[in-house]
A and B are shown apart, each in its own frame.
Chain A
Amino acid sequence: MKVAVFGACSAIAIEVARLYAADGHELYLVARNEERLETVAADLRARGASKVEIFSIDFLNTDAHHGLVEDIISKAESLDLALVAYGLLGDQLQAQRSFKKARKIIDTNFTSVVSLLTLLSNLMEKNASGTIAVISSVAGDRGRKSNYIYGSAKGGLNIFLQGLRNRLSTSGVHVLTVKPGFVDTPMTADFKKGLLWSKPEVVAAGIVKAVRKKKDIVYLPWFWRYIMLIIRHIPEKLFKRMSI
């Protein structure tokens, strides 16, 4: 399989890439820190990837997306799987005080992903095959005061992916929305960890399985589906007073 990973230095993405490497697949990795990306690439080669190519870019620079996708295709010819993993949690308090900060969260998690997916979806639609998997978040299921800027970007992304899936369903392109719960990664380094937390390896295995099974939406680990089911059904009258 030819797998492209956007945000290949994310802790979750690294674990997904390791699983594909162990099975000897080809990996096309994109991230902004080239030195770190090199170490990830070496690791994946040692673990059995049949080919690893790296590309460095800051995804906020959407003007460069077209060139990036062309570069990848010139090396890979076609893609079987595109995984979009990068994201930015940001600081909610700062973002509610400054639109500049809020915009960076929205652009990273939503606008830039739309740009990238526009290119990737047209490509895959033309080939009438492939999988687009995007890591969104349970935070996009309901707005909460603690992270609604990040949450609304991920929520927008969820709707975008729904529409895309609907559009591509007849052309043989699979669109997967991944909604992880709490994952112990650098993004959440400052949070106190408890029972609901998972390791990136566990989430990664869930992503690989959902890709294989051609799932539409997957909550990872599975129990988040039920947690979010409850949270989504709390009446707004009550929810607006809650602190969760």
Chain B
Amino acid sequence: MSEFSCWGRYPHAQQTAYKLSWRDQVYTVISSENSVLPYGQGRSYGDVCLNDGGALLVSGSIDRIIEFDRHQGIIRAEAGLTLEELLRVVVPAGWFLPVTPGTRFVSLGGAVANDVHGKNHHRHGTFGSHIKRFALLRSDKNVYECSPEKEIDLFRATIAGLGLTGFILWVELQLIPIEDSCIRMESIKFNSLSEFFEISDSSNQDYQYTVAWIDCLKQGAGFGRGIFMRGNHASAAEGKGLKVYEKTLPAVPFDMPEWMLNRYTVGAFNALYFRKQLRDSVTKIVPYDTFFYPLDAVARWNRIYGRSGFMQFQSVCSRDVIERILQITAASGQASFLAVIKEFGDIKSPGMLSFPRPGITLCMDFPNRGASTLKLLRELEELVCSRGGALYPAKDAVMSERSFKDCYPSWQEFMEYKDPKFSSSFWRRVTGER
């Protein structure tokens, strides 16, 4: 069963997995099971991709490109195709993803169903904003072609629809043109949260991509320190051509012991990372994988958290709440070295249950230490949800029913479009539905 788990490996689920290869196989499984959920690459951290006690429709080998218009930059492909495979084909032709998450190992279907965002949210909005149309197979046996013009409500429900409106068969996506596949990246050190806000404010205009790593263990002097990264696609003159980059390092071979990650080892790591860059600001031309997918180089890096897994906490909220979250986290000493902070823009996604909204988003990983981790996450959740923020379902394993309903008031409208045969562990948790 462990073959089909979520990225944080918490919670666990028992489910019947159907590995599908062809579009014509999907309906047969839907009709033979009581409760089904599409499963892409399992890169969601928590239980949006799990269906305890039910069945999974594994899309991995339904992964064919249907049409690629090299002149217009429009690609239509089956939903199981990964962004990695897509990039292999489109980059040499001078195109790039309009929006990409921090890993290229996700499927098109998963990217739509979580309406993923990237470092260019302030300029391009979410993944769903670039979908021209898709085909959705529902348990009534009909295939619905949805677009901003046709089946509009089903279109809006399925983008960020968490796999609950049916099985996406294929997706048509508008790509963006690039001259070169490198990124001109500038890294700037900052020593406090207010410095981060300043740099962010001054970067959003001229940089297509902005994001920062932040040290969320540091208290006192240096609280809120980090490294800001901003970039644009390199020009033909600066770069090295339209190359496909897929750097790989050795995989993490086994589950690491839990005691290895503690406030001292992670604190030391963070300090090293912060000091690695000597100068205040460095500009480099880097391959796109270095810029967008630094973690992808190490396969199965989730094993460093050991068998008990880990949880991610990603929220979006106002600047003052972010400061409070960081204070609480630093004081708790619960180690988290992969912490990312970014300012979202105000481009509205078509998705009903879409997560991004104007504000600051902060992403932190916590090793699962049982009760103490849950207690901290509850405290942060209360804070975010009581102050008008929201948590990201793709990263969540613990949010309460009340928080979900507060953060996503459209859930009731969404219910009209949810497919009665589709469900997930996440959905049952946050709605109380059975």
Contact = CB atoms under 8 A, between A and B. Distances in A.
A35 B24 CA distance: 9
A42 B24 contact: no
A42 B66 contact: yes
Interface in A21-70: 22, 35-36, 39-40, 42-43, 46-48
Contacts of A43: 64-66
A36 B24 contact: yes
Given A11-B61, A46-B89, A47-B89, A189 B67 contact: no
A186 interface: yes
B103 interface: no
A39 B81 CA distance: 13
Name A's interface SS.
Answer: helix
Contacts of B64: 39-40, 42-43
Contact of B22 (A36, A46, A189): A36
Nearest to B78: A39
A108 to B, nearest CB: 19
A193 interface: yes
Interface in B17-42: 19, 21-24
Interface residues of A, number: 14
Given A189-B19, A193-B3, A47 B65 contact: yes
B21 A186 contact: yes
Interface in B34-77: 61, 64-68, 75
A46 B3 contact: no
Given A46-B89, A193-B3, A39 B23 contact: yes
Contacts of A11: 21, 61
Contact of B65 (A35, A46, A189, A193): A46
Interface in A179-231: 186, 189, 193
Name B's interface SS.
Answer: mixed
Nearest to B68: A46
A35 B66 CA distance: 13
Contacts of A47: 65, 89
A126 B75 CA distance: 43
Q: In the complex, which range does the number of interface residues on chain B fall in?
A: 10 to 19
Contacts of A36: 22, 24
**Among A43, A47, A186, which residue has the most Cβ atoms of chain B within 10 A?**
A43
Contacts, number: 33
Nearest to B25: A186
B220 to A, nearest CB: 48
A193 B19 CA distance: 13
Given A11-B61, A47-B89, A193-B3, A42 B21 contact: no
B114 to A, nearest CB: 25
Nearest to A189: B19
Contacts of B68: 46
A11 B67 CA distance: 20
B3 A42 contact: no
A42 B61 contact: no
A35 B3 CA distance: 30
A61 to B, nearest CB: 22
Contacts of A22: 88
Contact of B67 (A40, A42, A186, A193): A42
A42 B65 contact: yes
Given A47-B89, A186-B21, A39 B66 contact: yes
B113 to A, nearest CB: 22
Contacts of B75: 46
A16 to B, nearest CB: 15
A54 to B, nearest CB: 14
B174 to A, nearest CB: 16
Interface string B65-104: 1111000000100100000000011000000000000000
Contacts of B21: 11, 186
Nearest to A40: B64
Nearest to A22: B88
B69 to A, nearest CB: 10
**Among B3, B65, B67, B75, which residue has the most Cβ atoms of chain A within 10 A?**
B65
A193 B78 CA distance: 25
Contacts of B66: 39, 42-43, 46
B378 to A, nearest CB: 37
B66 to A, nearest CB: 6
A33 B65 CA distance: 18
Interface in A126-161: none
Nearest to A39: B64
A193 B24 CA distance: 25
Contacts of B61: 11, 186
A189 B66 CA distance: 25
Contacts of B23: 39
Nearest to B81: A43
Contacts of B88: 22
B105 to A, nearest CB: 13
Given A11-B61, A36-B24, A46 B67 contact: yes
A197 to B, nearest CB: 10
B253 to A, nearest CB: 12
Contacts of B78: 39
A134 B272 CA distance: 54
A162 B22 CA distance: 35
A186 B61 CA distance: 10
A182 B22 CA distance: 22
Interface string A168-186: 0000000000000000001
Pairs of residues from A and B, 9 with the lowest C-beta to C-beta distance, nearest first: A43-B64, A46-B65, A46-B68, A43-B65, A39-B64, A42-B66, A186-B21, A36-B22, A47-B89
Given A39-B22, A39-B66, A47-B89, 8 more contacts: A11-B61, A36-B22, A39-B78, A42-B64, A42-B66, A46-B67, A189-B19, A193-B3
28 contacts: A11-B21, A11-B61, A35-B24, A36-B24, A39-B22, A39-B23, A39-B64, A39-B66, A39-B78, A40-B64, A42-B64, A42-B65, A42-B66, A42-B67, A43-B64, A43-B66, A46-B65, A46-B66, A46-B67, A46-B68, A46-B75, A46-B89, A47-B65, A186-B19, A186-B21, A186-B61, A189-B19, A193-B3
Interface of B: 3, 19, 21-24, 61, 64-68, 75, 78, 88-89
